Chain A
Amino acid sequence: MLVDDDQTRLAMMEQALVAEGHVIVVRLDAQADLLAGVTLHQPDVIFIDVDAPSRDTLESLGQIHRERPRPIVLFAARSDAETAHRAIHAGVSAYVVDGLHPTRLSALLDVAIARFEVHQALSRELSAANARLADQRDIEKAKGLLMKRRKIDEEEAYGMLRKMAMDRKQRIGDYARLLLAASDLL
């Protein structure tokens, strides 16, 4: 999906992408209804001008379709090349600077998708790792609490925690947090 008001730039991008075997599902101007466009055409990648007002609409799309995010390629005028380079470091999938040779577009598209996938995998791993860390920390604390209150040893405390979590069909980390929150209220 391409979103731009500049017809020349649109044509150039389309030509370059089609030449590389990509399919342009839809071309929209910046005033068009992006939400409907994305729902209808289900693009794999969205190309949009960094300064398009409808970027805010696209942001909300990212919020709505959190379970199925799409890589977004931003392109900017040459004068904003600095934005481009820094944005890549800031985590935006990829920035295409206007005035690039058309043959490089497709390569950038691949870079954008690859980057996006790495980013997605990383954030998945990161949240999983964070959850594991939090679980370990909270299980330790809950164990400590049980050991103190029930005057039992570590192994018994862990066994008790595990059994209570299993009885309630909860993850042990979640149950540990529940226990800690409850004890905080007492």
Chain B
Amino acid sequence: MINGLEKTRIRLGMLPLADAAPLIVARSCGFFARHGLEVELSAERAWAALRDKVAAGVLDGGQMLAPMPIAATLGLDGVAVPMVTAMVMSLNGNSITVSRQLHARMSQHLSGASDAGACATALAAVIAEQRGKGERRPVFAHVFPFSAHHYELRMWLASADIDPDNDVQLCVVPPSQMVAELESGRIDGYCVGEPWNEVALQRGVGVAVATKHEIWNNSPEKVLGVTRDWAHQNPNTHRAMVAAMIEAARWLDEPEHRNEAAALMVSENVLDAPAASIQASLRMRTGGIVFHRGAATYPWRSHAVWFILQMLRWKQCWMAPNFSDIASDVYRCETYREAAALIGEPCPRADYKSEGARLSGSSTPSTDGGSIMLGSDAMLDGSIFDAADPLGWLKLQRHGLPAVGYASLQFANVRQS
């Protein structure tokens, strides 16, 4: 297995977040070593810096926000070095937290339920009230223009008919500064990954009002990304790297290992956060971070198409892409299956699945002739997304209007017969 590796010493970038755990575990528990890889992890302080270093070849690859490789390949991120991913590092894990002051006002409009949907409706009522009194719009932060956080925040707001472009102000704040910004009152809420919701909660600064899981059950969060050129030049190393990471994810989803992983992250000083918050972030619970269960590591192309749609819906994309071309170029199911074969990991036979229709787990045929249980994938706004008709979904959305005409989008996606 070790023979044929094009490269054995690799440098991977990561951001100090709880869901970087698979990288820490793969290195510290010897999964990389078992596949003949000597991996150095580089803790970066910004997604832009990580992206630039991967693009420039200073890093071989790294943890990325799931939409990042797509934005890079579409050339929307200013650097435009095409990137790919063959493995999802984590599902769920983000939450939307609001300041105690904003939560107090929202509470006046909450009766009974305080789930994500009810909280969004309460926020809409507060915004209407503020507008009447001439107060400033609430400011909500996320972490990067091309992040699931950004789209989740917008989807949550839009679910209660709040226009994310006009009724609130959105901005980007680095994760480690979120809690301080919320405390200072410069922002009123944020969507961020763990442990920064836990930290706000434990310090009494903010209250979580919606989880990523509530907004879209078991949706992709971070991926393992490399440049398209790197993947082309190092196919065996790429497979070995993905195989080691799937094993790390499998290890992490055995409940007894979560505390051990938290202890590892504390002892390696990965995160500048209290140990209790890190442990709470990684605790197994409904809606919590998933690393492996339900084919979590598999790069579903339907997820890629969904992200392209968000880029269109929120005017980040100014051209008409062919959805399936981009999805198959960036989300590499084939590489995943080859890597999975190295470690006897069953994987889905399909490249796409419908999104939003699974209200509970359901099974899908796997490559070993059996089947795999997938987790639910319901969305907060109740929408069902069929990757075969992405424009149908786009047309149903109330807020957000693509900068590209439907005719052009339709034309770019006409099946060549």
Contacts and interface: CB of A to CB of B under 8 A. Distances in A.
A11 interface: no
Interface string B137-175: 000000111000000000000000000000000011110
Interface of B: 44-49, 52-53, 55-58, 77-81, 143-145, 171-174, 176-177, 186, 316, 405-408, 410-411, 414
Interface in A35-81: 35, 50-60, 62-63, 74, 80
A130 to B, nearest CB: 8
Given A60-B144, A92-B52, A52 B46 contact: yes
B45 A52 contact: yes
B interface majority secondary structure: loop
Candidate in B52, B57, B174, B414 with the most chain A CB atoms within 10 angstroms: B52
A14 interface: no
Contacts of A180: 407, 411, 414
Contact of B176 (A53, A82, A177): A53
Contacts, number: 97
A167 interface: no
B81 A90 contact: yes
A interface majority secondary structure: helix
A18 interface: no
Interface string A156-186: 0000000000000000001001101110100
Given A50-B49, A56-B172, A181-B406, 20 more contacts: A33-B186, A54-B46, A55-B46, A56-B143, A56-B174, A57-B172, A57-B173, A57-B174, A59-B47, A59-B144, A59-B172, A60-B145, A63-B145, A83-B52, A83-B58, A86-B57, A87-B52, A89-B56, A181-B410, A182-B407
13 contacts: A35-B171, A50-B49, A56-B47, A74-B52, A80-B58, A82-B56, A87-B52, A90-B55, A90-B56, A174-B405, A174-B408, A177-B407, A180-B411
Contact of B48 (A58, A89, A182): A58
Interface of A: 31, 33, 35, 50-60, 62-63, 74, 80, 82-83, 86-87, 89-92, 138, 174, 177-178, 180-182, 184
Contacts of B78: 59, 62, 91
A174 B48 CA distance: 35
Candidate in A51, A56, A57, A82 with the most chain B CB atoms within 10 angstroms: A56
Given A51-B46, A62-B78, A180-B414, A87 B56 contact: yes
